[in-house]
Structure 1
Amino acid sequence: MYRHASRLLIRSSSSSASGGRAGGGGGGARAAFSTDVPAPATEDTGFVEAWRKVAPSLEPPKTPSAFMKPRPPTPSSIPSKLTVNFVLPYQSEISNKEVDMVIIPATTGQMGVLPGHVATIAELKPGLLSVHEGMSLVQKGLADFTQKLNSATTDLEKAEAQIGVDVHSALNAALTG
């Protein structure tokens, strides 16, 4: 009985969306996509009313809009600090720490992450993860040359940027001990 009720609901909603024509008829109805903005809850009231007419003893099913949360607003400016969480399987080493830069060992080389860094997927390699709380001149230079190395297009640009990364890494290691 309930399968029949759901079939009737689907049939009635699809025929009303297609303008009552058999086969859809292309009456201006378009398919919904997962990237569309979720519909407000008021549009679900028609479905709930139809459900209560067909199956008054059953609670109506939840629609996707009941589970979707509104997307958080996108910040208009680059944040000044980077929030870091470093979690191991058995404990949390760093939790919600505000830092200026994190240097991560990746298979493509050292990757410096600054506030406002673009989302990146990279294969990590075993190595030392550096968390920097203060931005000194040497660390800014390292971040600049790391960015130049990643965006270099010619061999000359890559060589110059790699020299800059090596020099600033050595200076940073000497200063931090």
Structure 2
Amino acid sequence: MFRQASRLLAQTLRAGLRPFSSDLPAAPTSDSAFIESWKKVIPNIEPPKTPSNFLRPRPATPTSIPSKITVNFVLPYASELSAKEVDMVIIPATTGQMGVLPGHVPTIAELKPGVLSVHEGNDVTKYFLSSGFAFIHANSVADIIAVEAVRIDHIDPSLVQKGLAEFTQKLSSATTELEKAEAQIGVELHSALNSALSG
């Protein structure tokens, strides 16, 4: 029975009745063919949710460049900024520091340990990020997802210096590849923290 339902789903997809795009409304009518087919084959089980059930329409790309960029900055356990309109953000991309202004070209950037700067008028809020991704959309929205982040003003410089010294010593005395790799990560992270605090 499940095999028949999956075959019907594949036929529906091949027929082009379900275009997969984030421009679709949350409950597209094209899902109705799949749901009807499912109910014919397996009437006593609810049809599964399809990806299009979870998609929302993408906001239209503005005809003129807005004066602000909307930033969503999230961590696995918290939302630091939600739909915050700012003048500019500077992100620590693996390719180098990247300034993002309203009207920025759509981009996906991998983040490296470094400083995220959020510019709002004369106010600049800085966060130290461990890693993550930034998604810059055509509608002047930036979604920044980080594994870990902390505001720069919450970092204790003495602990950073202590950690850098410890990991540098571990790197010089490491005997296995695993010990070297762990120590190298520690040195790179603490060096980036040190640079963030001094710059």
Return the TM-score normalized by structure 2: 0.38
| Bigger Cα Rg | 1
Higher fraction of helix: 1
Higher relative contact order (CA 8 A, sep 6+): 2
Return the TM-score normalized by structure 1: 0.41
